[in-house]
């Protein structure tokens, strides 16, 4: 859009710049959930709150997923804002602890350059 003459500070450009990474459709309800994915080496409550607030300005309601070297986190941005940047650890019956640990190891290997 910028190449087409839109200014970088154009609200439409900013809305697209902050667009969530994924749109996930619940097979049972057909409801679409928007999910933004972030990486933090260690969980940072202040950064998490800022990311949730920024998302809420254009993409309410949506979810924030954070991958860290210590674990994965997922919560609705309204909950994150209400809880001053605290985010819930990922808990889903389809994503077992063993599966999460496998992906955590991949993340740690990548971080260490292995």
- pLDDT digits 0-9 by tens, 50-95: 999 988 988 878 999 999 999 999 999 999 999 999 999 999 888 9
What is the pTM for the complete model shown? 0.82
Predicted pLDDT of residue 6: 59
Output Rg (C-alpha) for the chain, integer angstroms. 16
Helix (H, G, I), strand (E, B) or coil at 74: strand
Predicted pLDDT of residue 69: 95
> Is a pLDDT exceeding 60 seen at residue 3?
no
Give the pLDDT band of residue 114 (cuts 50, 70, 90). low
The DSSP secondary-structure symbol of 87 reads -
């Amino acid at each position: 859009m910028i190449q087409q003459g839109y200014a970088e500070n154009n609200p439409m450009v900013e809305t697209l710049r902050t667009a969530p990474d994924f749109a996930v459709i619940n097979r049972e309800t057909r409801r679409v959930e928007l999910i933004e994915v972030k990486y933090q080496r260690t969980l940072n409550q202040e950064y998490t709150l800022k990311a949730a607030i920024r998302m809420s300005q254009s993409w309410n309601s949506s979810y924030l997923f954070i991958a860290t070297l210590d674990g994965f986190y997922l919560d609705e941005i309204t909950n994150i804002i209400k809880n001053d940047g605290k985010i819930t650890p990922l808990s889903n019956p389809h994503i077992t602890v063993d599966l999460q640990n496998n992906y955590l190891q991949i993340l740690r290997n990548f971080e260490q350059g292995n």
